[in-house]
């Protein structure tokens, strides 16, 4: 630090007395020659914020008096996996309309007006495997906000005209399902990765959302939205004890009992290797390369993250980006992800978008890199770049109090805290322990280009024609067959006959 101070003084003098020309003469020519003071950071300890409430939920309470704002987020054990067959969309409708459909004492319109006047943000939603209700508001309005939240959670109105409006908006949204090649890719890659019949691949249709009634919403709400399944994250301008008392009031004397949701089904099945093709008249093809993935409690999960970072997860320091984008100029973005599922393995995925004529060539480059990282050890430099990046950006996981509360609440909800309360404390040393041999071992175990399921969405003629400088057939990319995947009618999700495409 002393030399730093000296530099400061000298630089100041130089600027004043010597003018600009003498500045910078002693500046090093390479960044490695700079030295830096050490940086100490310890992650917050979840136990410090964890409060098991008498009323049922576990809460993470993180006071932060810097701004007069409070954020409360309640995670609910529910999800679209609970949608009954024929009523796909019920979870989504219930989730949206909790906050948007009014409460017992207020119509939807009155509630919206009041929230807008308080400049409060209230939102709710139910996704695949969790639901959430959240409120961000000025701390002066906290008690009114909590009363609103209680009503939203316990006595939602599910106003009929708001159900009808959401339904109609929903159906109109469905009509855009084939308009963008990206939407088609996102939909079809789920089917290919997990199987047509897996619950997460079910799609809403005009028929299924039309079948949803107000009674369905009420029953779904009363069955699943109750404090036994809640995990709460709250941060902002309050005293800890006062907030705990307010939360107890919020969740006590719940007017209905509810049920414990069944386990999330895990019966996934990936499609056989091959090139799967959806025709779409655009000048840039969308490509997705899929392989079976892992759950995040896999003992190799962090080694897999390091491997994927080097392969295609690390942006400009990754191999796929370097070759597809920087070397060849074939795509704006190219990369890979190895997400790690909480409940079932999430698929490995690599992808990019490239002009039709270079789709096959760019695909071959990605497959080549997948092969290479399994066959040859990565360099020490690559390993260090990936590890330093993970370790030294670690404080960003906790850079606001709202993030601290949300991260710990997430771990509570998914069971990670119960399983390993020191997960974050030991995280950096576990990354540090990953070796080049680990990287190659997990690549060998998980990356098999010959088994890849390759999805292409785009102009079939031009993609097939390819780049004369890099002649390739579909057979060169996959030992499996070329499979034509039909577009689906956006309202019924039935495959469309070939001639109407």
Partner 1 sequence: MISLRLAGLLAVATVPALAQQIPVIERRLPNGFRLLMVERHEEPRIAGGWVVKVGSANEQLGTTGISHLFEHMMFKGTPTLGTKDAKRDLELIAEQEQVRGEMRREEAAMRVALREGKLDDVTKPENFTPRYRELEAEFKKLIDEQRQLLVKNEFDRVYTTAGASGMNAFTSEDMTGYFITVPSNKLELWCWMESERLLRPVFREFYAERDVVYEERRMRIESTPIGKFGEEFNAVFWDAHPYMWPVIGWPSDIPNITKRDADAFYALYYQPQNITLILVGDFQPDQAEAMALRYFGRIPAGTQPPPEVVTQEPNQPAEKRMYAEAETNPQVDILWKTVGYRHKDSYPLDVLQLLLSDRTGRLYKGLVLGSEVATDTYAMQDSRKWAGQFNIGGEAKEGKTPEDVEQGVYAELEKLKNELVPADELQKVKNQFAAFEYRKLTANFPIFMQVLQAEGLGDWREVNEANAKLQAVTADDVQRVARKYFTKEARAVAIYTRKPGTGAASDDPDLAGLAADQRPMVRQIVQSLTAEKDVTKLKEFLGQLEAQTGNADPKRQQLQKILQKKVAARIAELEKK
Q: Which of residues 247-286 bind partner 1 (CB under 8 A)?
A: 282-284
- Residue ranges in 34-53 that form contacts with partner 1 under rule CB under 8 A: 34, 36-41
388 makes contact with partner 1 (CB under 8 A): yes
Q: Which residue in the set 8, 143, 269, 422 belongs to the binding site for partner 1 (CB under 8 A)?
A: 8
Comparing CA positions, the residue from 228, 72, 203 lying closest to residue 138 is: 72
Sign of CA dihedral 106, 109, 110, 116: positive
Tell me if residue 415 falls in helix, strand or coil. coil
At 258 the three-state DSSP class reads: coil
Measured from the Cβ of residue 404, the count of other Cβ atoms closer than 10 Å reads: 22
- Least distance from C-beta 463 to partner 1, angstroms? 13
Counts for the chain of helices (H) and strands (E), in that order? 20, 12
- How many residues touch partner 1 under the rule CB under 8 A: the total is 101
What residue ranges in 77-215 does DSSP mark as E strands?
A: 121-126, 131-138
- The reply on whether position 205 binds partner 1 by CB under 8 A is yes
Please identify which residue in 244, 482, 483, 491 interacts with partner 1, judged by CB under 8 A.
491
For β-strands 58-63 and 50-52, DSSP reports them as antiparallel
- Judged by CB, which is closer to partner 1: 222, or 389? 389
Among 12, 86, 415, 471, binds partner 1 (CB under 8 A): 12
The SS3 assignment for 227 reads: helix
The span of 193-201, 251-259, 442-450, 467-475 binding partner 1 (CB under 8 A) equals 467-475
Instruction: Decide whether 236 or 345 has the Cβ nearer to partner 1.
Output: 236
Nearer to partner 1, 269 or 400 (CB): 400
Query: Taking the complex as a whole, how short is the minimal distance between the CB of residue 495 and partner 1, in angstroms?
Result: 11
Nearest distance in Å: CB 299, partner 1: 26
Handedness of CA 319, 323, 326, 331 (dihedral sign): negative
164 binds partner 1 (CB under 8 A): yes
Residues 309-338 that bind partner 1 (CB under 8 A): 314-317, 321-322, 325-333
Closest by CA to 96, choosing from 217, 233, 232, 229, is: 217
d(CA 486, CA 491): 15
Q: Is 31 in the site for partner 1 (CB under 8 A)?
A: yes
Give the nearer residue to partner 1 in terms of CB position, either 36 or 253.
36
Q: Which stretch binds partner 1 (CB under 8 A): 15-23, 363-371, 426-434, 478-486?
A: 15-23
Burial class (CB in 10 A: 0-12, 13-18, 19+), 309: buried
- Minimum CB distance to partner 1 smaller for 222 or for 317: 317
Decide if 315 contacts 321 (C-beta within 8 A): yes
């Amino acid at each position: 630090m002393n030399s730093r101070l000296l530099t400061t003084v000298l630089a100041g003098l130089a600027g004043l007395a010597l003018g600009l020309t003498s500045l910078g003469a002693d500046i090093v020519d390479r960044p490695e020659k700079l030295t830096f003071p050490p940086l100490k950071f310890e992650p917050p300890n979840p136990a410090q914020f964890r409060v098991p409430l008498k009323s049922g939920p576990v809460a993470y309470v993180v006071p932060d008096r810097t701004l007069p704002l409070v954020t409360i987020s309640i995670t609910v054990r529910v999800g679209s996996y609970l949608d009954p067959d024929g009523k796909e969309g019920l979870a989504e409708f219930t989730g949206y309309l909790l906050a948007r459909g009014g409460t017992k004492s207020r119509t939807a319109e009155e509630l919206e007006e009041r929230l807008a006047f308080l400049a409060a943000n209230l939102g709710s939603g139910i996704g695949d495997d969790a639901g959430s209700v959240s409120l961000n508001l000025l701390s002066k309005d906290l008690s009114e906000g909590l009363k609103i939240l209680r009503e939203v959670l316990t006595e939602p109105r599910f106003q009929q005209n708001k159900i009808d409006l959401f339904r109609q908006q929903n159906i109109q949204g469905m009509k855009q399902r084939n308009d963008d090649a990206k939407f088609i890719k996102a939909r079809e890659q789920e089917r290919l990765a997990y199987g047509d019949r897996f619950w997460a691949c079910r799609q809403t249709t005009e028929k299924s959302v039309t079948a949803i009634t107000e009674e369905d919403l009420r029953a779904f709400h009363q069955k699943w939205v109750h404090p036994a399944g809640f995990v709460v994250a709250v941060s902002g301008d309050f005293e800890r004890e006062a907030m705990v008392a307010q939360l107890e009031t919020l969740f006590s004397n719940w007017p209905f009992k509810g049920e414990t949701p069944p386990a999330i089904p895990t019966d996934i099945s990936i499609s056989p290797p091959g090139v799967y093709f959806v025709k779409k008249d655009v000048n840039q093809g969308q490509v997705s390369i899929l392989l079976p993935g892992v759950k995040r409690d896999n003992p190799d999960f962090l080694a897999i993250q390091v491997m994927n970072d080097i392969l295609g997860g690390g942006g400009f320091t990754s191999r796929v980006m370097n070759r597809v984008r920087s070397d060849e100029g074939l795509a704006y973005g190219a990369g890979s992800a190895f997400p790690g599922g909480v409940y079932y393995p999430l698929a490995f995925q690599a992808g990019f978008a490239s002009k039709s004529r270079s789709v096959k060539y760019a695909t071959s480059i990605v497959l080549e890199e997948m092969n290479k990282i399994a066959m040859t050890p990565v360099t020490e430099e690559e390993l260090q770049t990936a590890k330093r990046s993970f370790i030294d950006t670690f404080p960003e996981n906790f850079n606001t109090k709202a993030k601290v509360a949300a991260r710990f609440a997430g771990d509570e909800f998914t069971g990670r805290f119960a399983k390993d309360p020191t997960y974050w404390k030991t995280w950096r040393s576990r990354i540090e322990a990953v070796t080049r041999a680990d990287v190659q071992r997990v690549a060998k175990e998980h990356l098999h280009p010959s088994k890849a399921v390759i999805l292409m969405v785009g102009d079939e003629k031009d993609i097939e024609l390819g780049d004369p400088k890099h002649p390739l057939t579909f057979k060169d990319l996959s030992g499996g067959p070329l499979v034509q995947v039909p577009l689906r009618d956006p309202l019924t999700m039935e495959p469309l006959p070939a001639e109407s495409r």
